[in-house]
Amino acid sequence: MNVLGVGSEDVLFLEGRKRMPKASYSVTRLQRHGYVFILPTLIFFSIFLVYPMISAFRLSFFDWNLLKPKVYIGLKNFLTMVKDARTINSYVRTLHFSGISVAAINILAFIFAIMFSSRLIRWKNIWQSLIFLPVVLSIVAVGVVWEFMYQSTGIIPVVLRKILGASPVWLTNTKAAPYAIIITYVWKSVGYYMVIYIAGLLDVPSSFYEAARIDGAGFWGQLLYITIPSLKNSIALAVVSCVIFTFGQFSIQFVITQGGPSRSTEILALLIYRQAFELSKFGYSAAISVLFFLTMLIFSLIQLRLFKSGAVGA
Amino acid sequence: MISYRLKENIQRAILYLIIAILALLFLFPFFWMVLSSFKLNKDVLAIPIRFFPSQWNWMSYLNVFTKFPDFNFPRFILNSVIVTTLAVLLCLFFSATAGYGFAKYRFKGNNALFTFVLATIMITFEAIVVPLYILVRQMGIQNSYWGLIIPESLTAFGVFMMRQFFYAIPDDFIESARIDGANEYVIFARIGLPMAKTALLALVIFHAQWVWNLLLWPMILISDPDKRVLPQGIALFKGGYNTPYPEQLAVSVIACLPLVLLYIFLSKYFVQGITMTGLKG
Amino acid sequence: MARKVLLIALVVLLVVTFTVAAAKKKLIAYHWTETVYDPINMRAVTMFEAKHPDVEVKLLLLPDADRPNIIRTVIAAKGSIDTFALDNGQSAEFFAGGAMIPIIPKAFGKATVKDVVNMWTPGAIETCGGFWEGQYYGIPYELSDYVAWINTAFMKEAGLNPATDKPKNWDSFVTVSKKLVKQQGGVTVRNGFMCNSKAAVFNFLVISAMMEQLGLDWGSEKGFIASMDDTDMLTKGLATYTDFVVKHKIWDPALAENDREGFGNGKSAMFLTGGTWYWGVLDTYSVKRKDVEPFPYPRFPGGKDIGGMGYGYCLYVSSLSKNPELAFEFIDTMASQPNEFIKQGYHQPRVKLSNGAQALDPKLAAASIPYYNQVFKGELAKTAVWLTSTKEKQAEDAVWAAISRVIYENNSVEDSVAQLEQEVRSIFE
């Protein structure tokens, strides 16, 4: 049984019967202890996360700059938002950023995890730590360093020009800037997800691989028929959290491009921040947060159906 | 037989080559950061770019601690350590208890309540900063460690992860302990938690790096210079007119060291622990 | 019995003295941090606390960019805040929300508000944004003007004569810049001119000056809105600015982000967002003072004689302050060291201190600031006016978006102006 809840039994039984215990939610005295266990979390989450969020939602019906009293304006913020080219642009940019980042991060993390679990190499720990290193760096430092590297006289364009003869103007080109951000973000995050995949991989019993090899499966066969199915839970956890984290990502764009050039990297969380803290439109900002939250809600519902609440063996 | 060995060696060589390239790509920005912290301010951004400092500025690290009398960096580091440690411990507490409760007990509303908790993952800090500040002020814990620690200890990701893990633990151990007459909380503490050690360690590193680098919330909450945390210290370097880059980078290097050490320390247990967590029959 | 009474009396006495001693008054001041100025400000705290031993002052130094947000959040939560600093672009919003209280003359030892106002150069409080709807609220903390700066070493290198060839209008600005641009392998390694390529505010301030030179009243909200009807002038102003990048290629935004830094490191031959304080900043970069000369903003032929943007900071007392008079005394102290600041090139427009002594020594100003008499002083009388509006930041944002559309997205100036007009109208409707 590994960290993420996939055990050997589950793999064997996945394809055949569904070994799910009957969901008999009894309110016996024993089961009621469950309430006690979840109580601290429920209380604190409700007070410090849910209540402020509800306040924020309420705020979306008002016009407020924090200094003068709130003015009730009903649905006006929402009506403006739907027609606002800037918000629509931001939403599209966020989908773009999230979509590409999630794909790149997970594919790379998976590949790294497999590479660093191979029995062919030594010092696995060191290689893993190297990839994980960017994860622990402060975002301000990351922003400063990568900004230097992307500038027109910075190392990345210089090297690209030497190798390929030309380089995009990364930070001032509206088409290239989103990719500059994605590259930096992938660099910073892939280690995090690699750890999740390694945890999942390490616990696939080697007996499976032995069996497969005896059956004549080569590397790719083992990958397709043993590794990936066993990692279904890890993949679910990694992809779902990746989507959620990238959708709410703010600091990378804030530090490197400030949403520019010309709003090409102004993703939703940055717009929410900007409307509130730069343009003093706290009500409008709250309305955009509602949009953000609803998107995440819909995504979570979809993923809940796809992965059956993400827990195999529930 | 021989060709098999050869094939393996070629695979090994290719793998190491890829790893070398990867290591270079991944470490390069970090090297740049460290080297630039030893440059003079004007050299950091110079054209043509110089990888190595033309003149080694050994003073930047010293300056961080001496030249800025208002920025008490040892104090910031201490604050960060306090806040991160307590926030992580609190996070472990919430995640482990809730994860265990959701996973091991079938009570009415289990799924609904879990969905409720999970939904909070979608609440971004930016969206709730203002109402949260007002709330924290009403409680009187603004500008204090607890005002930082409590909100920063809450993550549904932790609950999610621990629930996944606890699902995987067979109920047999728990049943037998019950038959032996142990009460539920003792079972949790003596059986559930130890089995969850690796998941908890993973959660430690994930959450620690988030709290350690968090900037937005401390920025709004903490105005008292004595209580500032490290990211605020780094951000403060960006002066209105002038940014002393070597010093800012020097602080950044110092700032990431504790987390790097923590990761290296934990990853030993992590990797071992995972291969040892055999609850296989 | 008598002993008991004595004991009780003693206890009561002790309690009273302790509570009185513990009830030290507290003043919380929100300010911004700049390494060169922080020690001077801390000294003001020490001076004030020496004069008022029963008061403890907490001077909170925040990053400049975050200061208004933090102040705003604290006010919204009705937190503890006695004084704060705002620049003249930020103050209107706070005024409209009733965040500050008008000047209390008694705190300065004066009889009327007029007496207090006269301690500063005429019009200083207004320019620094401390005057609102007929009342004076703010104590000027800085008054600066943007002038143009040029690297004379680069001029000589290009065969230009620094004494005679400095640009006087925007056309010669372009011609001179073209001679000073440097390319290497198809990449610009030195801009003829540059401004900040990421932040809205600096671009806004430069183009505002240009618009005001063209006769548009961008200093007042009414004038700004009205100017949206003058499409021709808007187009001329926007085109002049964006042509620097698009047509004349004297500014490559990709070369460097920050113009003060870029100029200081030799990546640009000119820039337009420096005040008297820039000398001190320049010393931290590689370009030497002797190779640099400030000069008045170029003008438009036939346009108004207006120079770069004038701006300043004011210190205010918050409506939430529990000791307003004391708070005013404190900010008086904070603004009472102009001679210390001028040595750093930081100009505070104070003529007299509250005790009657001379505040800013004009000779010291001229001695500490190269070209003070030749350039800065003259231009200070002709500064452009920073838009005073509760929605100033939104206006700034819309203008920067208009500029960005042209320089980053290759929109035509006409389309961008049309969109700007539409956006501004909807902001202020």
Inter-chain CB proximity B275 and A27 less than 8 Å: no
Residue C123 sits in the same domain as residue C193: no
b/e sequence C310-324, b meaning 16+ C-beta within 10 Å: bbbbbbbbbebbeeb
CB pairs under 8 A between A and B: 312
Digits of tens for pLDDT over chain A (314 positions)? 344 434 443 333 333 334 444 444 445 777 888 889 999 999 999 999 999 989 988 989 999 888 888 899 989 999 999 999 999 999 999 999 999 999 999 999 998 888 887 777 777 777 887 888 888 787 777 888 898 888 888 888 888 888 888 888 899 999 999 999 999 999 999 988 888 888 778 767 777 777 877 787 777 777 777 777 778 777 887 888 889 889 888 888 988 898 889 999 999 989 988 998 889 898 999 899 888 888 888 887 787 777 654 443 33
CB pair distance less than 8 Å for B243 and C261: yes
Instruction: Answer whether A151 sits within 8 Å of C69, measured CB to CB.
Output: no
Asked if C137 and C230 sit in the same domain, the reply is no
Q: Are residues C152 and C135 in the same domain?
A: no
Say yes or no: C283 and C326 in one domain.
no
Within this chain, do residues C204 and C170 fall inside the same structural domain, yes or no? Answer: yes
Q: Which comes out higher in pLDDT, residue A154 or C259?
A: C259
* CATH number of residue C138's parent domain: 3.40.190.10
Distance, in Å, from the CA atom of C277 to the CA atom of C264, rounded to the nearest integer, reads 13
Task: Give the residue numbers spanning the domain of C78.
Answer: 18-142+312-369
B135 with A48: Cβ contact below 8 A: yes
Which chain C residue shows the shortest CA-CA distance from B41? C285
Q: Is the dihedral of CA C228, C232, C237, C242 positive or negative?
A: positive
- Of C363, C366, C359, whose CA–CA distance to C345 is shortest? C366
Mean pLDDT of chain C: 90
User: Tokens at residue A191, please?
Assistant: 């280690």
What percentage of chain C carries pLDDT values higher than 90? 68
pLDDT at B274 over 60: no
Question: Is the Cβ pair A68, C98 closer than 8 Å?
Answer: yes
Distance of alpha carbon B142 from alpha carbon B218, whole angstroms? 10
Q: How many CB atoms lie within 10 A of CB B221?
A: 25
Beta-bridge partner residues of C188? C183
Tell me the nearest-neighbour CA distance from C97 into chain A, angstroms: 4
Instruction: Check: CB of residue C71 under 8 Å from CB of residue C314.
Output: no
| Chain A residues touching residue C98 (CB < 8 angstroms) | 67-68
Spell out which residues of chain B touch residue C149, defining contact as CB-CB under 8 Å: none
Contacts of C245 (CB under 8 A, 6+ apart): C251, C252, C253, C406, C407
Nearest to C73 among B42, B220, B224 (CB): B220
Q: Which pLDDT score is estimated for B270?
A: 57
Select the residue from B36, B37, B105, B174 to test the A interface by mutation, using most A Cβ atoms within 10 A.
B105
C-beta separation of B57 from B40 below 8 A: yes
Interface of B with C in 77-116 (CB under 8 A): none
Does the beta-carbon distance from C285 to B41 stay under 8 Å? yes
**How confident is the model over C266-296, as pLDDT tens digits?**
999 999 999 988 988 888 788 999 999 999 9
Residue in chain A lying closest to C395 (CA): A279
Tell me the one-letter amino acid at A79: L
Q: Which of C30, C63, C74 sits opposite B235 (nearest CB)?
A: C63
pTM higher than 0.95: no
For C322-381, how does the pLDDT look when each residue is reduced to its tens digit (9 = 90+)?
999 999 999 999 999 999 998 888 889 999 998 888 888 888 988 889 999 899 989 988
Examine residue C132 and state whether it is found in any structural domain, yes or no: yes
Contact C58, C99 (CB under 8 A): no
Mean confidence (pLDDT) of chain B = 81
CB contact under 8 A, C63 and B236: yes
CA-CA distances (angstroms) from residue A36 to B94, B102, B103, B172, B175? 12, 11, 13, 22, 19
Q: Are residues C82 and C39 in the same domain?
A: yes
Residue C8 counted as domain residue: no
Is A273 within 8 Å of B126 (Cβ atoms)?
yes
For chain C, the domain total comes to 2
Asked if the Cβ–Cβ distance from A192 to B111 is below 8 Å, we say no
Evaluate whether residue C378 is within a structural domain.
no
The reply to whether C94 and C217 lie within a common domain is no
| DSSP element (H, E) containing C29 | strand C25-32
- Residues of A with CB below 8 A from B164's CB? 3-5, 233, 237, 310-311
The reply to whether C203 falls in a domain is yes
A67: which chain C residues are within 8 Å (Cβ-Cβ)?
72, 75-76, 93-94, 96-99
Domains and CATH numbers, chain A: 8-15+86-307 (1.10.3720.10)
For the stretch C419-422, contacts whose Cβ atoms lie closer than 8 Å and that sit 24 or more positions apart, written own/partner, are: C420/C228, C420/C234, C420/C238, C421/C228, C421/C231, C421/C234
Determine the topology of domain B66-276 in CATH.
MetI-like fold (1.10.3720)
Pick C70's closest partner by Cβ from B69, B220, B240: B220
Max CA separation in chain B (angstroms): 75
Average pLDDT rounded to a whole number, residues C9-23: 63
Chains that touch B (3 or more CB pairs under 8 A): A, C
Interface of B with A in 52-91 (CB under 8 A): none
A129: which chain B residues are within 8 Å (Cβ-Cβ)? 260, 263-264, 267
- DSSP of C293-354: EEEPPPB-TTS----SEEEEEEEEEBTT-S-HHHHHHHHHHHTS-HHHHHHTT----B-B-T
Position A106 scores a pLDDT of 95
**Are the beta carbons of A45 and B117 separated by less than 8 Å?**
yes
B235 touches chain C (CB under 8 A): yes
Instruction: Give residue C387's pLDDT band: very low, low, confident or very high (50, 70, 90).
Output: very high
Structure confidence at residue B2 (pLDDT):
63
Closest CA to C146 of C376, C367, C360, C378: C376
Residues C250 and C341 in one domain: no
DSSP letter (8 states) at residue A49:
I
Same domain, C332 and C421: no
- CB-based contact C255 A153, cutoff 8 Å: yes
Write down the pLDDT at residue C303: 93
> What six digits make up the tokens of C17?
């003295």
Both tokens assigned to A103? 């794909």
User: Which of B69, B219, B239 lies nearest to residue C34, judging by beta carbons?
Assistant: B239
Closest CB to B68 among C30, C35, C258: C35
Closest residue, chain A, to C402 (C-alpha): A262
Q: Which helix (H) or strand (E) holds C405?
A: helix C392-409
Residues in B closer than 8 angstroms to A180, CB to CB, are none
Which residues of chain A neighbour B199 with C-beta distances below 8 Å? 3
In a domain, C4, yes or no: no
C84 and C175 assigned to the same domain: no
CA–CA–CA angle A131, B46, C274 (5° rounding): 115
CB-neighbour burial class of residue C208 (10 A; exposed 0-12, middle 13-18, buried 19+): buried
Q: How far apart are CA A24 and CA C323, in angstroms?
A: 65
Q: What is the pLDDT of residue A77?
A: 93
Q: Are residues C340 and C400 in the same domain?
A: no
Confidence of residue B66 (pLDDT cuts 50, 70, 90): confident
| Position C376 in a domain | no
Residue with tokens 């770019």: B49
- Interface list for A 57-86 with B (CB within 8 A): 59, 66
Mutate to test the interface with B, among C35, C64, C80 (most CBs of B within 10 A): C35
Chain B, residues 130-159, CB within 8 A of chain A, namely 130-132, 134-135, 150-151, 153-154, 156-157, 159
Q: What is the pLDDT of residues B223-237, one digit of tens each?
A: 777 888 888 877 777
Q: What is the pLDDT of residue B46?
A: 66
Contact between chains at C42 and B137 (C-beta distance less than 8 A): no
Measured in angstroms, the CA of C359 and the nearest CA of chain A are apart by 34
| Cα–Cα distance for residue pair C220/C391, rounded to 1 Å | 11
Interface of C with B in 64-83 (CB under 8 A): 64-66, 69-70, 73-74, 76-79
C-contacting chains (≥3 CB pairs under 8 Å): A, B
Both C27 and C130 in one domain: the answer is yes
